[in-house]
Amino acid sequence: MKKVYLHPLPIRIWHWINAIGFIILILTGAQIRFADSMGLMSFETAVDIHSWLGFILLANYFIWLLYYLFTGKLFKIYIPPFWKPVEFIKNSIRQAKYYGYGIMVGDKNPHHPTPEHKFNPMQQISYLIIMVLLIPLQIITGLMLWDPQLFSSLISIIGGIQIASLIHTGLWIFFTAFILVHFYLATLGHTPMAHIKAMFTGYEEEHEEH
Amino acid sequence: MRAIFITAIVIFCFLASYFIPLKDAVSQDIKSCLKCHSVKTLTKKLEDGQSLSLYIDGDKFDKSVHGVLDCSSCHPDITLKNHPRPKKIANKMVYTNEFSKHCLNCHPQNTLMKPEIHGIVVKKGDIVCAQCHGSHYIGSIKEWKNKASFNEYCLSCHKFNITKTLPSNEKISLKVNEDEIKKSVHGKFQCIVCHNDFSKANHPIYNYKNKAEYRTKMTAICTKCHTDNDLQKNPAHYALTKTASCIECHGFHGVKPAKVAKALPENQYCLNCHSRAISMKMKNGETLSVQVKESDLMNSVHKKLKCTECHKEFSSTQHPIKSFESVKDYRAMAKDICNNCHQDAVKKYDKSIHAEAFKKGVPEAPDCIKCHDYHKTTLITKDKIASNELCVKCHGKEGEAFKSSIHHNALMQGKKDAPNCSSCHNSHDVLSTNIANLNNSCLKCHKDLKSAHNKWLWNPPVRLTTFVDAHFNSASCAACHTNADKSLSVVLFDRANKKPLTESEVAKLLGIDVKEIKRKIDSNGDGKVQEKELWQFMSMVKAKAKANLAGRIDVSNPNDAHKIEAKTKAVKDCAACHSSGVAFTGKMEINRQGAKPVKFELERSAFNSAYAIPNIKDFYVLGLTKIKILDTLFLLALLAGIAVPIGHITLRILTSPIRRKRREGK
């Protein structure tokens, strides 16, 4: 059994704050949207929690961003090797094949994470889009909806508050599906709890090849 | 032969003797009447208290044309046997009427039709025989005609209250007051000097269509003596003669000397004519009084001004002739006079909805003088209640709604800072009840409004007033501060110029008539704009301009905005708007210049349609205007998020024997 230190402490802190925040934001978001049919809490409470958490996650995003920027690992971990596109696509297909077929027939996971190379190609491209595009987009549109007057110039750049709302709601829908699948994928380690444990301890256990 | 002659004489005498006593008998009748009626003091008390003289001058009667008749010819109902008797007579007129009927016994009506004018008088019956001809001492008409002066002759009829009804149904009085003529500058004139088409032998009958024609024709009489050359000596007067007839200023029978001393104070000079009931005629036939009451001037705020300070082109030597198409055209110029001194107020007024309406020709639209009046110009009173009343004169419905507001309460309690109409709508730059303007109007008095709202209306973690602004920008104050029904309204908006698109602009863009716009929007003509109709219309307009719909939450009935309630009754519950279940009505508006916007009922679901995203770009109310299709997508995503792991797990369970075999195989 080999142990790899995949998740440094700041990233673990960021991840768990983000995880709880995401779930509550999705729920309060639903409560705000379905004020007349959902009874978790009052509209005002839902807005208060949603706003507070929005700002907490905004700050939290910077833990992730600053950590990876200062350690210089952002590029290595998140940017797919666009200079080797054929290989990257091949690897992606191999990874997809593993989740769709190999995992059923008992193949080994083709990806072996290292601190420098912790994501498989599919993770890499997804997390790049999520972390660099979708989360900032969700934060910015969130801010627009939080105070449309304060961010009115930004709103007019994107073409109106309806667009802001459309993006924010669209991403809410995406993140809802994403977080469910994300949670399931987290159970696909060599034991169901392996990845989850690693997210607490930082160390990913991996069976050594014989 | 002789015997025959004597017999003849006897017979003649006998026969003659038959007649002679007859004549004697007649004389006897008069004599017996005169026994009493020659007493000068013989009078009869009438029921109205007057006394009627019953005295008859026998000699005078004898010389009259009826001297040969006996009394009973005209008084057939009186005999010695039944006289005197108590006969009740109401008044002299009744008596005259009654006895004039007896004239017709000898002079039947058909013999009285000539001359024609006499026939008219007889037929009309307003004047009876005795009124003109007298009773007992009637002389020969021929003799009287020859002897009478012209004035005496004419006035014998025209002293009476005779009138003539013209085809226009206007009545003119033909009564002439002799005294008035005597006192006038024409006092020594005989009637025919002016009325030279009339004479004792000739009385033409003219049929004027209306008073105006009559006046014009009568004025022509003046110019016979007062020639154009005479009148040109005074240019101001000459100018006037082109707009007013002589008699309008100078009168007719009572013509007064109209020499005006130019040394008179200027206002007196002008008022010399303008204090009279003169009017001017517009090209379209309307008339406008140009009479100025001195008392109005003296009570006005302009009492120290000279006429020419406003009416700059006029002076004691200049009186230009002005000609206007209509009263409206004339009124449009009135503002320019005010503008000489009150530029600020006029500038403000020009921006107002009143000015817009006035320009468009809305008949009830006010200009300066509708509120401030002409010559009795007044300041609008500082008494707030009274000045409110001035607006309410035209805006009654709004005044009624305002009565139920906390503002009106404060006004009635005499609170110093209580608002009246102009506090919100301004006085000269009266604004339409456009949402932005109206909210600004509230802010004028409620200066701490933002911070007051910010005490509870903010989004954590930072208390920002911009959050209040966001709400002020998309909801009218009245939406939360009245108890009225609310609506989600959209206004057609030009996103490029950041101004509402007006009805006429839309018509121009679409190349159609303004009246057709309604049909373009509500294409199925059911009186309500359906979602589909709205988007169809928007795509038409958007093809021509950068149009969009600006939205707001407002009271359904704009007049309800006047019913502002106490602060404690205001809506503070966010979910009152931020919920899809709220029962607001939908409305669509297109602004109109100088008038209230055109309004349509709008299907509420339009706000929740995906088409609202490109068409109502800048208006979004959390919960209320959410795009419904996204809710479905959310549910699908939720299902997919659950189904994918379940499917994968299922496959993994199903394939577990393969993996077990493979492990065992190793």
Residues B552 and B642 in one domain: no
Residue B487 β-bridge partners: B554, B585
pLDDT by residue (tens digit) across A139-152?
Answer: 999 999 999 999 99
Q: Backbone phi, then psi, for B632, in 5-degree steps? A: -65, -45
Residues B656 and B592 in one domain: no
Interface test with A, best of B611, B617, B625, B662 (most A CBs within 10 A): B617
pLDDT category of residue B187 using cuts at 50, 70 and 90: confident
Considering only CB atoms, which chain A residues are within 8 Å of B618? 155, 160-162
Q: Do B305 and B340 form a contact (C-beta atoms < 8 A)?
A: no
Residue range B537-579, pLDDT digits in tens: 999 999 999 999 999 999 999 899 899 999 999 998 999 999 9
The amino acid at residue A122 is M
Residue B5: is its pLDDT beyond 80? Answer: no
Q: What is residue A153's predicted lDDT score, i.e. its pLDDT? A: 95
Q: What is the pLDDT, as a whole number, of residue B203? A: 81
pLDDT in tens, B454-496: 999 999 999 999 999 999 889 988 999 999 999 999 999 998 8
Q: Cα B296 to chain center, whole Å?
A: 20
CA dist B75 and B61 (Å) reads 15
- Quote the CA–CA distance of B276 and B293 in Å, as a whole number: 8
A162 with B633: Cβ contact below 8 A: no
Average pLDDT, stretch B295-324? 83
CA distance to partner chain B, nearest, from residue A49 (Å): 8
Question: What is the structure's pLDDT at B52?
Answer: 84
* Predicted pLDDT at B333: 81
Residue B627 contacts A, CB cutoff 8 Å: yes
Strands B171-173 and B163-165 turn out to be antiparallel
The one-letter amino acid at B102: H
Q: Is residue B156 part of a domain?
A: yes
Mean pLDDT along residues B80-89: 74
Q: Evaluate whether residue B26 is within a structural domain.
A: no
Per-residue pLDDT of B337-378, as tens digits, reads: 889 899 999 999 988 888 888 888 788 888 888 888 878 877
* Coil, helix or strand at residue A3: strand
Which residue do the tokens 């966010």 mark? B574
- Reference B423, options B397, B395, B439, B445; nearest CA is B445
Give the pLDDT of residue A208.
52
B635's tokens: 């549910």
Q: Is pLDDT larger for residue B328 or for residue A191?
A: A191
Lowest mean pLDDT of B241-255, B269-283, B548-562, B635-649, name the range. B241-255
Residues B557 and B621 in one domain: yes
**Tens digits of residue pLDDT in B565-575:** 999 999 989 99
- Residue indicated by tokens 């919920």: B579
The ipTM assigned to this model is 0.96
Q: What is the mean pLDDT of residues B438-444?
A: 76
B589 DSSP β-pair partners:
B491, B599
B499 and B643, same domain (yes or no): no
| Number of helices (H), then strands (E), in chain B | 35, 12
The predicted pLDDT at position A210 comes to 39
Amino acid (one-letter) located at B366: P
Q: What b/e readout covers B286-296, taking b as 16+ CB neighbours within 10 angstroms?
A: beeeeebeeeb
Structure tokens given for A79: 């940017």
pLDDT score at B146? 77
Q: Do residues B189 and B55 share a domain? A: no
Query: What local confidence, expressed as pLDDT, does residue B239 receive?
Result: 66
What pLDDT, on the 0 to 100 scale, is given for residue B243? 65
C-alpha distances (whole Å) from B22 to each of B14, B28, B204, B661 are 13, 9, 47, 175
Beta bridge partners of B598: B590
At residue B6, the pLDDT reads 66
pLDDT-above-90 percentage for chain B:
30
CB contact under 8 A, A36 and B469: no
Instruction: Check whether residue B509 and residue B656 sit in a common domain.
Output: no
A168-204 burial code (b ≥16 CB/10 A, e <16) = bbbbbbbbbbbebebebbbebbeeeebbeebbeebeb
Give the mean model confidence (pLDDT) for residues B637-645: 96
pLDDT digits (tens, 9 = 90+) for B45-69: 888 888 888 888 888 888 888 888 8
Q: What is the structure's pLDDT at B2?
A: 67
Residue B24, pLDDT above cutoff 80: no
Residue span of the structural domain in which A51 resides: 2-206
**How many angstroms away from the CA of B503 is the closest CA of chain A?**
24
- Please check whether residues B468 and B616 belong to one and the same domain: yes
- pLDDT confidence of B36, banded at 50, 70, 90? confident
For A33, which residue in chain B has the nearest alpha carbon?
Answer: B623
B463 touches chain A (CB under 8 A): no
Domain total for chain B?
4
Last residue of a domain, one of B259, B276, B296: B259
Average pLDDT, chain B: 84
Computed from CA positions of residues B148, B149, B150, B156, in that sequence, does the dihedral angle turn out positive or negative? negative
Paired tokens of B530: 């359906």
What is the spatial distance between Cα A142 and Cα A145, in angstroms, rounded to a whole number? 5
The larger pLDDT score, comparing residue B295 to residue A97, is at A97
**Interface check B645 vs A, CB under 8 A:** yes
Burial label, B90 (beta-carbon count in 10 A; 0-12, 13-18, 19+) = exposed
Higher-confidence position of B367 and B646: B646
- Out of B98, B116, B140, pick the residue that ends a domain: B140
Which residues of chain A make contact with B640, given a CB cutoff of 8 A? Answer: 177
| Euclidean distance between CA atoms B489 and A88, whole angstroms | 53
- pLDDT (average), residues A42-53: 96
Give the DSSP per-residue string, A138-206: HHHHHHHHH-TTTTHHHHHHHT-HHHHHHHHHHHHHHHHHHHHHHHHHTT-SSSTTHHHHHHHHSEEEE
Task: Give the C-alpha separation, B395 to B404, whole Å.
Answer: 15
Tell me, what's the pLDDT at A203? 94
Query: With 60 as the cut, is the pLDDT of residue A209 above it?
Result: no
Decide if B211 is inside a domain. yes
**B423 located within any domain:** no
- Which residues does chain A have within 8 Å of residue B624's beta carbon, measured at their own beta carbons? none
Tell me which residue in B575, B627, B640 faces A177 most closely, judged by beta carbons.
B640
Determine the Cα–Cα distance for residues B609 and B391; give it in Å rounded to an integer.
42
Whether the model pTM is above 0.90: no
Q: What is the pLDDT of residue B436?
A: 44
- Cβ of B645 within 8 Å of Cβ of A147? The answer is no
b/e per residue B621-655 (b: at least 16 CB within 10 A): bbbbbbbeebbebbeebbeebeeebeebeeeeeee
**How many beta-carbon pairs below 8 A join chains A and B?**
130
At A155 the pLDDT is: 96
Q: What is the CATH number of the domain that holds A55?
A: 1.20.950.20
Residue after which a domain boundary falls, among B259, B293, B324: B259
Contact at CB, A176 and B466, closer than 8 angstroms: no
Instruction: Tell me the residues of chain A between 110 and 169 that have a Cβ less than 8 Å away from chain B.
Output: 145-150, 155, 159-166, 169
Range of the domain at B132: 31-140
**What is the sign of the dihedral through the CA atoms of A94, A97, A102 and A103?**
positive
Domain count across chain A = 1
Cα B59 to Cα B64, B79, B98, B410, distances in angstroms: 9, 22, 25, 91
pLDDT at position B643 over 80 = yes
In the predicted structure, residue B10 carries a pLDDT above the cut 60: no
> How far from the centroid of its chain's Cα atoms is residue B457's Cα?
51
**Residue A102 in this model has a pLDDT that exceeds 90:** yes
Q: Is B151 exposed, middle or buried (0-12, 13-18, 19+ CB in 10 A)?
A: middle
Among candidate residues B599, B595, B563, the one with its CA nearest the CA of residue B479 = B563
Express each pLDDT in B275-293 by its tens digit: 877 777 888 888 888 888 8
Q: What is the pLDDT of residues B374-422, one digit of tens each?
A: 788 777 777 788 888 889 999 999 999 999 999 999 999 988 889 888 8
- Please answer yes or no on whether B461 and A51 come within 8 Å at the CB atom: yes
Would you state the pLDDT for residue B166? 86
In 3-state terms chain A splits into helix, strand, coil percentages (rounded to 5) of 70, 5, 25
